[in-house]
């Protein structure tokens, strides 16, 4: 048995946007974080290699055990 749903154009648009937003959030959650070396981060931020290394050692910028810096750690640092 089929169901017919009546809706307005605006309501349909809202539902589609909501579904696409949820899809993008799920897609991001399942994606492994992009990792950068200290050298790559120093170039991105326009700071010296030693400055970034000190920030990582001080815990200001989070890094993995292997010394790589996740993309979200860079975003957190930039937000303050």
| Calpha distance 1→14 (Å, rounded) | 26
**Tokens 């970034």, located at residue:** 52
What percent of the chain stands above pLDDT 70?
Answer: 100
| Domain locations in the chain as residue ranges | 35-79
38-73 per-position pLDDT tens digit: 999 999 999 999 999 999 999 999 999 999 999 999
Q: Tell me what pLDDT residue 64 has.
A: 93
pTM of the full structure: 0.61
Q: How confident is the model at residue 5 (pLDDT cuts 50, 70, 90)?
A: confident
Say how many C-beta atoms besides its own lie within 10 A of residue 6's C-beta: 5
Average pLDDT over every residue of 7-11: 92
């Amino acid at each position: 048995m089929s169901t017919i749903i009546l809706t307005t154009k605006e309501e349909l648009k809202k539902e589609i946007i909501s579904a696409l937003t949820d899809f993008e959030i799920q897609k991001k959650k399942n994606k492994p974080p992009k990792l950068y070396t200290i050298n790559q981060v120093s170039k991105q931020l326009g700071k010296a290699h030693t400055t970034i290394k000190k920030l990582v050692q001080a815990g200001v910028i989070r890094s993995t055990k292997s010394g790589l810096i996740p993309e979200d750690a860079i975003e957190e640092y930039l937000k303050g």
